Structure 1
Amino acid sequence: MGCEAAERQYAAIPVRVQDGQLQVMLITSRETRRWVVPKGWPEKKLNARGVAANEAFEEAGLVGTIHKKPLGTFHYYKIMPTGKRLPCAVDAYLFEVERELEDWPEKGQRERRWVSPSQAALMVAEGGLVSILLSLASVAVSDEG
């Protein structure tokens, strides 16, 4: 995915500390059931971090704190309903999960699963996202949970 213009999206990388171990939540995409992170398109009323946090709520039922700076950017092709491949650049923000809701807007449409960052890296398809997930070992997350 070289120099073609990419559509911008914003993602949350939901994390928690469980028994001293960092975990990442992955969710399934609605159409292809691949493992992904919550992400969405820019919205007029929200900044990039707001979009990412809102997607974590809508897609995974998560409430928490989103970090100010992106962990990184990854690229992928979104397959549109027409079959067209749309290149996307996704800014990924660390999202420290404070609450997991029992009910949320897309509950019936997705699965969610907590895994280690290395396990998450094996489950996702986007190479740039793999790198971001593997970099989590060096990220400081508060261990209050």
Structure 2
Amino acid sequence: MENFWKASLSICGFSAVAAFVFWSLYKNWLSLPIFSRLNQNYTFILMLVFLILTFAALSLMLITYLKVNSTKEQENNSIVNQSAAFCYRKNPELKVMLVRTSGRRWTFPKGTNVEGQSNYSTARINALEEAGVKGFIQKKPFSNYKHYKQELKNDGKDCLNEIFFLKVDEVVACNEAHRKPTWFTFDEAEIALREGRDAFYAKEFSRVINEAKIILST
């Protein structure tokens, strides 16, 4: 609806400007030598055609611009931006904590980004709420990944997640009992994260696990 009103106002503006230009040109161009050979009706028709073609070109440019921006807006609105915490410990083996989704799949603790709140804070808060872990979280993500968020029975959205390392110092009771926070070795976590997911999203989780393994093993 917003784009409709923008288009309407723009076309009205173009129309007003075009009418003014048309009238000005019509009065001034009559004195040019080329128009002295034409009668007034032919001159009017010629300039009217010129005006229509100009207006059509401007309208086409406007419609194209609005369509492109509308497509970009729809694409942006169809992706949910989230932040996830890669909760790990080394005692002595590297392990990562995963939690259950409402659909019983394993995932990283995560939450939707909130305006006015840093993404790493979102990841840290959700790590505490979903997994019951506290610790030092890095302020810069080490990677990102996409996953599919099932919202309704036959509906869902792509989510783009930034993921932050959180070195766990303390484990407390989590607020969401159904999450079942569990420690996994990296190899076990990769298998668990791939279960029940399409190939593309399964590869996304595998990539994140492998990137984390390389970084934390050095």
- TM-score of Structure 1 vs Structure 2, range by shorter chain: 0.7 to 0.9
* Higher-strand-fraction structure: 1
Give the aligned partner of residue 62 of structure 1.
133
State whether structure 2 residue 178 is matched by structure 1 residue 105. Answer: no
- How far apart are the structure 2 equivalents of 1:55 and 1:137? 22
Q: Deviation at 1:109?
A: 1.6
- How far apart are the structure 2 equivalents of 1:68 and 1:104? 23
Give the aligned partner of residue 9 of structure 1.
82
User: Which of 100, 103, 115 is residue 28 of structure 1 equivalent to?
Assistant: 100
* Higher-helix-fraction structure: 2
Q: Deviation at 1:139?
A: 1.9
> Quick check: 73-82 or 6-15, which moved more?
73-82
Q: 5+ unaligned residues in a row in structure 1: which ranges?
A: none
Q: Deviation at 1:100?
A: 0.4
- How far apart are the structure 1 equivalents of 2:188 and 2:210? 9
Q: Deviation at 1:87?
A: 1.1
- How far apart are the structure 2 equivalents of 1:134 and 1:140? 10
Contact 1:118 1:134 in 2 (8 A): no
Give the aligned partner of residue 193 of structure 2.
124
- How far apart are the structure 2 equivalents of 1:104 and 1:111? 9
- How far apart are the structure 1 equivalents of 2:147 and 2:174? 26
Higher relative contact order (CA closer than 8 Å, sequence separation 6+): 1
- How far apart are the structure 1 equivalents of 2:123 and 2:144? 13
- How far apart are the structure 1 equivalents of 2:82 and 2:133? 19
RMSD: 1.8
Contact 2:80 2:160 in 1 (8 A): yes
Q: Deviation at 1:82?
A: 5.8
Contact 2:85 2:166 in 1 (8 A): yes
The Cα offsets for residues 3-33 of structure 1, whole Å up to 9 and x where unpaired, read as: 94321100001000012x111011111x211
Q: Where in structure 1 do 4 or more consecutive aligned residues deviate above 6 Å?
A: none
Q: Which is greater in Rg?
A: 2
- How far apart are the structure 1 equivalents of 2:169 and 2:181? 16
3-state DSSP of counterpart to 2:95: strand
Q: 5+ unaligned residues in a row in structure 2: which ranges?
A: 1-71, 195-200
The Cα offsets for residues 69-115 of structure 1, whole Å up to 9 and x where unpaired, read as: 212111111111363221110001111101001x2211x22211111
Contact 2:190 2:209 in 1 (8 A): yes
Q: Deviation at 1:35?
A: 0.6
Supply the AA of the counterpart residue of 1:76.
Answer: H
Q: Deviation at 1:45?
A: 4.5
User: Which of 79, 83, 102 is residue 150 of structure 2 equivalent to?
Assistant: 79
Q: TM-score, normalised by structure 2?
A: 0.58
- How far apart are the structure 2 equivalents of 1:111 and 1:105? 11
